[in-house]
A and B are shown apart, each in its own frame.
Chain A
Amino acid sequence: MLKYALRRLVYMIPILFGITLVTFLLFNVAGGNPAIVAAGRYATPEQIAMIKAQLGLDKPLFMQYLDFLRQIFTLDFGYSWFTKQKISTLFMDGVGPSLSITVPAFLISLAITIPLGLLLAFFRKSTLDRTILVIALAGISISSVVYVIAGQYVFSYKLGLFPISGWETGWDTRWEFAVLPIIILVVLTVGTDLLFYRTVFLEEIHQDYVRTARSKGLSNRTILWKHVLSNSLVPIITLVILEIPTLLTGTLLIESFFGIPGLGGLIYQSIENSDFPVIKAVTVMTAILYMVFQLLSDLLYAWVDPKIRLG
């Protein structure tokens, strides 16, 4: 098990290298001349050259890449071109609001989809199964943008149940702004998650050990909740853990719509404003986060599956 962990850790290094390389190539090499963008529309050639030097863009490519790597390791990405703030500050500020939306939504979604998925897999092809499947399938046939726009329009604007947008930084005052975004996020994710879990459980229900459990006289409830669920943990954990990074980055759409100052909104803004340093930083940080959680999920998976834990 320890050897497995070590091997996985070592494997992360070339991936990290790859991520930084790809990001670097995309933005620094191919992305046009950022100095022009940063300088503004009316800049003179001398001003552009000055900014270029300031940003270190006049150095040879290789040096630029090393600079980039240094930034990542020191977690100091410089300053946003748009807001002129320190990028690391922007990150720290954005984490709180993002988590306030995504974590509750995530937990609620989990609490709904796992039991429901188990039930549907067990009562496959029943009326309940068919009805919910149809609703889920219909639900994912509508773009998430539509949900956000329509949701805000109907519930905030028309019915006035929630504020249209905005945010309070206090931990007790933010919730009235958070409720509708959370609900919409749940609606967005519950469809795909449910279908996924249902498939996972369906696979397990047809395994031989379920037949043995039945032959022992166990009740359906025991079979489902004890036997099937414990064997389904592997794919479930994988999915759940891999969703955690997205919890941090928040959701672009929802945050930009509801004016929530989280990381997702940060990403949205930086795209709108061609704010390269921020985009680059976000890309790399998110990728690294994702990689870390991938490793965590692999380790957890190894721990849960006795074949790997002991083998």
Chain B
Amino acid sequence: MAINEAMTQTLTMIEPQTIKKGKSLWTDAFQRLRKDKVAMVSFVVIVFYLALAFLCALNIAFPNYALVDNTIAYQAPSADHWMGTDIFGRDVLARAAHGTVTSLIIGFFGAALSILVGTLLGSLAGYFGGKVDDCVVWFYTTVDTIPYILLVVAFSFVAGHGLKTLCLAIGLTSWVSHCRVIRSEFMKQRGREYVQGAQALGAGHLRRVFFHILPNTFHLALINFSLLFVSAVKSEVILSYLGLGVEAGTPSWGMMISDAKLELARGVWWGLTAATAFMFFMVLAVTLFNDALRDALDPKLRGK
């Protein structure tokens, strides 16, 4: 009996509710993360920073960060100003808190842009191979060979200063590492049986890339996003030191730290301490969480 008849004659009717929901790899990773105490604490810290930034952006928290009062410039920490005041008499603690917003924006957009560009170029190169691959590799080898700082400097010359420029500059110069990762992952997955199986079932290039290979690279994007985030936040400090930071007046940890260059000689240590402390806990939390995430997503520990 031909297969068509066999199928229609005895077709099962199934209620969607009876289908039990399985445990995806993401759920699985999430469960493992939950058991990791360090990861959970880090996560809480990250959420705290996000909340802080949100509240600062809405001016609910520390609304007086821009309040200038030259009479109380460079005051040491006191009951009124827990981390003292800066050169313009502004409250240092408030400025450090608002610096979170700046760093989160730079970190987030810088990393996101890098991931986007890296994924786009890496997938094209890894999937199609041949000339496309040669072009992409040539391009990223070139970008990678030029020292990062100088590339960003050159970019700043072109695009001017400020927050937007920083995000663009960092984003458009840090994508090479992720591109490499995605490219090699695509090259590896392209020949694997589930992709070949999809091809045998009649799936075209688009379906194979978007439905099969790409979803299997999302965990890499997540991990690299955190790394790039941290790198972007730290780069902001160096770039501020070089005079390529945000607009004057915008609170940023980078500016506070590079201002300390002159402040310390006058015995003013609280600006540096506040900015460093704020940055320290956020970066540490993201790094620890990322390590735990990497372990939780480790494919070697999956499958029997």
CB < 8 Å A-B pair total: 112
Binding-face segment, B61-69, B105-113, B148-156, B215-223:
B148-156
B47 at the A interface (CB under 8 A): no
B139 at the A interface (CB under 8 A): yes
A172 at the B interface (CB under 8 A): no
Contact B158–A19 (Cβ < 8 Å): no
- Given the complex, which residues of A lie within 8 Å of B154, measured CB to CB? 23, 26-27, 31, 279, 283
Contact B147–A283 (Cβ < 8 Å): yes
Contact B242–A146 (Cβ < 8 Å): no
What's the Cα separation between A149 and B275 when bound, in Å? 13
Contact B238–A22 (Cβ < 8 Å): no
Contact B145–A141 (Cβ < 8 Å): no
- Given the complex, which residues of A lie within 8 Å of B184, measured CB to CB? none
Distance of B22 from chain A, by nearest CB (Å)? 29
Within 8 Å by CB of B142, from A22, A138, A153, A253, lies: A22
Bitwise interface map of A from 127 to 154 toward B, beta carbon under 8 Å scored 1, else 0: 0000000000110111111100110010
Interface size class of B (residues with CB under 8 A): 35 or more
Query: What is the chain A residue whose CB lies nearest that of B159?
Result: A30
Main SS of the interface on chain B? helix
What's the Cα separation between A137 and B264 when bound, in Å? 26
Which residues B119-152 have CB closer than 8 A to chain A?
Answer: 138-139, 141-143, 145-147, 149-150
What's the Cα separation between A18 and B135 when bound, in Å? 11
- Please judge, given known A-B contacts A18-B141, A271-B242, A286-B146, whether A142 and B280 are in contact too, CB under 8 Å: yes
Contact B272–A146 (Cβ < 8 Å): yes
- Please judge, given known A-B contacts A143-B238, A143-B257, whether A18 and B139 are in contact too, CB under 8 Å: yes
Binding-face segment, A55-63, A71-79, A81-89, A287-295:
A287-295
- Given the complex, which residues of A lie within 8 Å of B254, measured CB to CB? 143, 145
- Given the complex, which residues of A lie within 8 Å of B238, measured CB to CB? 143-145, 252-253
Binding site for B on A (CB under 8 A): 14-15, 18-19, 22-23, 26-27, 30-32, 137-138, 140-146, 149-150, 153, 157, 249, 252-253, 257, 267-268, 271-272, 274, 279, 282-283, 286-287, 290-291, 294
Can you list 19 A-B pairs, Cβ within 8 angstroms, ordered by A? A18-B142, A26-B154, A30-B157, A137-B284, A141-B280, A142-B276, A143-B254, A143-B279, A145-B237, A145-B258, A146-B257, A252-B149, A253-B241, A272-B242, A274-B157, A279-B153, A283-B147, A286-B150, A287-B147
Known: A149-B272, A274-B157. 7 other contacts (CB 8 A): A15-B141, A15-B142, A19-B142, A23-B154, A249-B147, A271-B242, A286-B147
